[in-house]
Amino acid sequence: MTLLQPVGALSFMTLAAVLFSLGLYGALSRKSTVMVLMSLELMANAININLVALSRFSAPAEMTGQIFAVFSMVVSAAEIGLGLALVLALYRQRKTVEVDAMQELKG
C-alpha cells in the first residue's frame, strides 16, 4: 500500500489560485511599493504554474507551456528591475516608498 498519490491538474490549479489570490490581496492592501511589487511577482508566478501545469496535462509531448513560462519570467524580471529603479528614484526624491505619497504623480 502506497501513501503517495499522483498529483493532478486540479492540485496545481488550486495552488495557483491560492497564490494569485494572496498576491492580489497583497497588491491591493499594502502601502509599501516594494511589497506591491512582490505581490505582483507572486501573481506572475501563479500564472507560470498554470502555464506549466496546463502544458503538462494537456499536451505532455510539447513544450509550449514551459516556453511561455520562461518568456513570462524574463518579462517579469525586466518589470521588477524597472519597478525597483522607479521606486529607488522616487525614494531619493520624496524620501518615502509609501503608495499614498505617490498620489502626487497623477497628472
Name the residue ranges covered by the structural domains of the chain.
31-105
| Res. 104 pLDDT band, cuts 50 70 90 | low
Q: Average pLDDT of 12-19?
A: 94
Long-range contacts of 68-76 (CB under 8 A, 24+ apart): 72/44, 72/47, 72/48, 73/44, 73/48, 76/41, 76/44
Q: What is the predicted pLDDT for the residue at 19? A: 96
- What is the rounded distance in angstroms from the CA atom of residue 3 to the CA atom of residue 26? 35
Over residues 90-98, the mean pLDDT reads 82
CATH of 31-105 given 3.40.390.10, 1.10.10.10, 1.10.287.3510, 3.40.50.12160: 1.10.287.3510
Q: What pTM was computed for the model?
A: 0.81
Mean pLDDT of the residues in the chain? 87
- In the numeric block, which cell numbers belong to residue 92? 531619493
Q: Residue 103: what pLDDT?
A: 67
Place of cell 507551456: 65
Closest C-alpha among 40, 37, 45 to residue 70: 45
Query: Cα separation of 62 and 85, whole Å?
Result: 37
